[in-house]
Amino acid sequence: MGKRSDYINDGYTEEGFVAAVPGLHGELRFTFRPFTVEERAQVTNGLRNVQPHLHNRKYAIEAAKKITAWSLRDGADKPVEVKADTVYAIRPALFDRLIDILLGYKPSDIDPQWAEAKKDEAVEDQFQAALAGTSIGQLAEEANEKN
């Protein structure tokens, strides 16, 4: 994929990974189109007028639009299609982690299958965000505003 860009253009996808948490959920690999600043604002601002119990349903609908592929499998080890209903049906801790990554609030976990350069890039992104006292998504937004 090359060096990660902070500019999100049409067709741009990233790789994501959620590490397994024993007793909560398994690992999940996925590719996705990152939310732009405007898209994220539309979703989060729109939720202000939606009943709280419907917030996660809306996140599932929007996540299904952004995830281009994932490794999720059912109990019979068959691939699970990416759609709002299936996103909404994943384990709660995995759901929360996935949404945070898609919206740019939290970084992807470092996938042990990534090449060393990609792992180093992910560590550097996390380091720079920590130095700035912000999230990786916010750091990328600030870089975009300067451009």
* pLDDT category of residue 107 using cuts at 50, 70 and 90: confident
pLDDT at 123: 80
Whether residue 129 is contained in a domain is answered as yes
Whether residue 30 is contained in a domain is answered as yes
> Domain range holding 58?
14-146
* Phi, psi angles (nearest 5°) of residue 11: 85, -5
Q: How many domains does the chain have?
A: 1
* % of the chain at pLDDT higher than 70: 85
CA distance 80 to 28: 12
In 3D space, the residue among 107, 89, 69 whose CA is nearest the CA of residue 25 turns out to be 89
Whether residue 64 is contained in a domain is answered as yes
CA max distance for the chain: 49
Whether residue 2 is contained in a domain is answered as no
Whether residue 7 is contained in a domain is answered as no
